[in-house]
Amino acid sequence: MVMITRNFFLFLSQNKFVKNRAMKWGPKFGTVRQVIAGETIADAVETVKKLNETGLSCTVDHLGEFVYSEEEAIASADVCVKTLEAIAEAKVDCNLSLKLTSLGLDVDRNLCRDNMLRILETAKKHNNFVRIDMEDFSHLDATLDLLHELRKSYDNVGTAIQAYLFRAEKDLRDLKGINLRLIKGAYKESPQVAYQKQEEVDKNYLNIIKIHLLNGSYTAIATHDHNVIAEIQSFTKEHNIPKEQFEFQMLYGFRTELQKEIADDGYKMRIYVPFGEDWYGYFMRRLAERPQNIRFAVQGLFSK
């Protein structure tokens, strides 16, 4: 039943008709506004300020992916640059997350690379870090290839590894020493490349987290699963891994009490804060990830 529900919402995330209907409501509709910081950079920075005041670090993501023109890609890069400048001006504790498709990866690789170089140079100027979000499997090799090229000149860039992929451990070992966000995975992938059973994904997720930690690499553990969090807390204590070597990450608007509890226990807790007008795909993938998210959405909808 969980897989059927997941597949349904992943289908909706790519359905243009449903997207067009939903987008008419805007991000202020129902539960969407509870998990999206707003439409503008100013909205995002204001949200980050409030989260920082409660002891939470942040990373912001300007929503948008799969652009198909050079003009759109450059415009998206401009927003990333302006966002980094706004973060620096506001002096908030916040990184930047982005997707390479939003910067033109599907248009022209060199265009995407040039956009990334401009963004990373801005981040370097402000002593900030940029996370390349991992997308679907069809973009995996291109993402890692570009990451390796960028790392030759910039050390303030990392990416994410998705535990549901068979190749996750190999990719992780190839990226030893790099700041990685480790996640279970949010796209529908074929049985040829990805685990289909949740218990297999969970097992591999814990496996790659422990490998990266034991390698001495900085590890961002992105999960709302309290069982995973508890196990990693015990594991790091057992192996004398300092709290400075890892952080937990959660999505804005989800499990807020647990976020604060983790931060109060002395762990770095970073909140992934999305903003922008193109919220639909992001929102549907969040509903697909966990049945608990669907209940959260429905409760929010009927509370309005």
CA triplet 86, 56, 281: central angle to 5 degrees?
70
Pair 226, 259: CB distance under 8 Å = no
Confidence (pLDDT) at 89: 98
Q: Concatenated DSSP letters for 188-225?
A: ---TTTB--SHHHHHHHHHHHHHHHHHTT--EEEE---
Pair 56, 270: CB distance under 8 Å = yes
| Helix, strand or coil, per DSSP, at residue 158 | strand
**Maximum alpha-carbon separation in the chain:** 52
Confidence (pLDDT) at 269: 98
Confidence (pLDDT) at 35: 84
Confidence (pLDDT) at 11: 46
Tokens of 268: 């770095």
Buried b (16+ CB within 10 A) or exposed e, 59-96: bbbbbbbbbeeeebbbebbebbbebbebbbeeebbbbb
Tokens of 56: 């939470």
Calpha distance 25→29 (Å, rounded): 6
Confidence (pLDDT) at 287: 60
249 forms beta bridges with 222, 270
Going by C-alpha positions, the residue among 292, 272, 298, 283 that lies closest to residue 9 is: 283
Q: One of 6, 61, 106, 133 is an active-site residue; which one?
A: 133
Amino acid in the structure at residue 18: V
> Known catalytic residue: 285?
no
Confidence (pLDDT) at 299: 45
Tokens of 100: 């390479």
Tokens of 50: 């409030």
Q: What is the pLDDT of residues 143-155, one digit of tens each?
A: 999 999 999 999 9
> Known catalytic residue: 181?
yes
Confidence (pLDDT) at 97: 98
Pair 137, 187: CB distance under 8 Å = yes
Q: What is the pLDDT of residues 9-59, one digit of tens each?
A: 444 444 454 444 444 555 444 566 678 898 899 999 999 999 999 999 999
Instruction: Give me the residues of the chain with pLDDT under 50, please.
Output: 1-6, 8-15, 17-23, 27-29, 294, 296-304
Exposure of 168 by Cβ count < 10 A (0-12 exposed, 13-18 middle, 19+ buried)? buried
Q: One of 181, 255, 270, 290 is an active-site residue; which one?
A: 181
CA triplet 39, 40, 46: central angle to 5 degrees?
110
43 sits in the region (left: phi over 0; alpha: psi -120 to 50; else beta) called: alpha
Exposure of 156 by Cβ count < 10 A (0-12 exposed, 13-18 middle, 19+ buried)? middle
Confidence (pLDDT) at 267: 98
Calpha distance 264→281 (Å, rounded): 32
Confidence (pLDDT) at 31: 62
